[in-house]
Amino acid sequence: MKPDWRQGILYLTTIGMEGCWLYAIIDLLNRKAVGGYLSVPVLLLIYPLSFGFNMLLQRLRFPRLCLRSLSWLVWAMAMLLVVKMQLYSELKWVDTSWLLAIPRSIGELIYGFKPELLILISTGVIWWLGRRLASRQSSFAALVSEFQFGLVMLVITFLVASQLGVELISPVTIAIAFFFFALLGISVAHAMEGTSWLSGLYQGHWSGLLLISISLILILGLLIASVVTPDLLQLFWVAIKWVWGVIWSLIMKVMVFLASLFPESEPVELPAMPSMPPMEPEGGFNFWPIPESVRSGLRISWTVLCVGFLLFALWRVSSDIFRWLRRKLAGMAGAEFEPLPGAFRADLFGFLKRILFKLLGLRLPFRIAARSVSVLPEMASVRQTYRWFLRWAAAAGYPRRVFQTPHEYLSLLAGLLPEAREDLGLITQQYVRVRYGASLPNEEELRRLSQSWHRVKQNDLKRLRAHHTGD
């Protein structure tokens, strides 16, 4: 079977997205737990090894248990090789002390977290991710789920690192690389489903535009990251506090001025208060002091909990956005673009209502909109041809008006091009049958339609319009 290069791009973008948040997490654990003793890129090399090896295993017709056992056996060998090269490179291969490093680190976990244990856990997770990717087909839904999960993991990792005071290696580069892989993978996955403009007639044009757009987004991200520094944010905060102080002083002056408009009351002498007997000091209650490490852990836990709720809400909203966009774009295949005032506003309000009611846990008392139905390829081809026909005529100065029916528009153009009356009538008739009669054309009719459109577009309607204008 011929390999699909687009599916290969989806695999590479998935590996890139997962590699970004894996790099951030392992780098955080490496710096905080084991003092930065390990090389994170070497650990991440296990991912492509796992993916490639498990892809080869799928070609073998062995029992599933045998394939799984063989896969994890290779992981154990790769994990021991990493331990030997990163931690015990000075020992000889025949020395068995480095082979016992993993069991020893597990037994001494109560005394400390050792680098051998981090290698065991990280390589196990990475190998499992490679097996999972090799055993499934990448799709638009899978890429969106990977993007959502990876974004949550990156945000939590960066937040924990900032709370613990750990400086990660190039967090801005990691974030930009993550979004690059996400944008590229989601775009290609959507194009592979055949409902995107990337799979249309001008595929090369839109592919170039997509790459330019992604590059522009990344460049703007780098510029913003280089400009928006902590010093700049501190400067903005000082400016906001100064503005708030000025506004508050003005409010206080206005209140004092308004209070001065009221007449002052006459002073009244109050009777002297009886003296209170002296109170004996009571013994205070000393609370149990909480250690600083416990309080720091509680602050981090509370922050992670709050951010988790926020990320969950963002995940639900983004899921609905992707689902709505996917349904809308799927219904655009072969659609006719005509003026419809208020359509975008109605769709936007309906979408916001749906999001609001879902977040509040309520059920909509009304139907917002019916689900779009995908157009069959034969019908989409006819409607696409008619759309090209409309653009061709509009470019020459004869656009189809809103009040004109297809046959009225045909009469206008046939009067200008009497020699193409038959071809114009065929294009219009096929469109009317498909658009309003739901008739499915056969291959012969599609071939004749393509030939008619090819002959029609050879006529220079713009020059004919200029000739009539000159007359």
Among residues of the chain, what percentage have pLDDT more than 90? 13
Most confident segment among 172-186, 196-210, 278-292: 172-186
> Helical H runs in 135-202?
140-164, 171-192
Tokens of 408: 């009225």
pLDDT at position 396: 81
Q: Between helices 461-470 and 377-395, what is the axis angle to 10°? A: 30
Q: What is the pLDDT of residues 332-375, one digit of tens each?
A: 444 444 444 444 456 556 666 666 666 555 554 444 444 444 56
> What's the pLDDT band for 325 if we cut at 50, 70, 90?
low
Cα separation of 76 and 86, whole Å?
Answer: 15
CB atoms inside a 10 Å sphere around CB 196: 22
**What's the pLDDT at 252?**
85
Q: Give the residue-averaged pLDDT of 54-80.
A: 89
For residues 124 and 48, is the Cβ–Cβ distance under 8 A?
no
Q: How far apart are CA 123 and CA 67, in angstroms?
A: 19
Q: Which two tokens stand for residue 199?
A: 């799979």
Q: What is the mean pLDDT of residues 26-47?
A: 88
Read off the pLDDT of each residue in 415-442 and give the average, rounded to a whole number.
85
List Cβ neighbours of 3 (8 Å cut-off, separation of 6 or more).
none
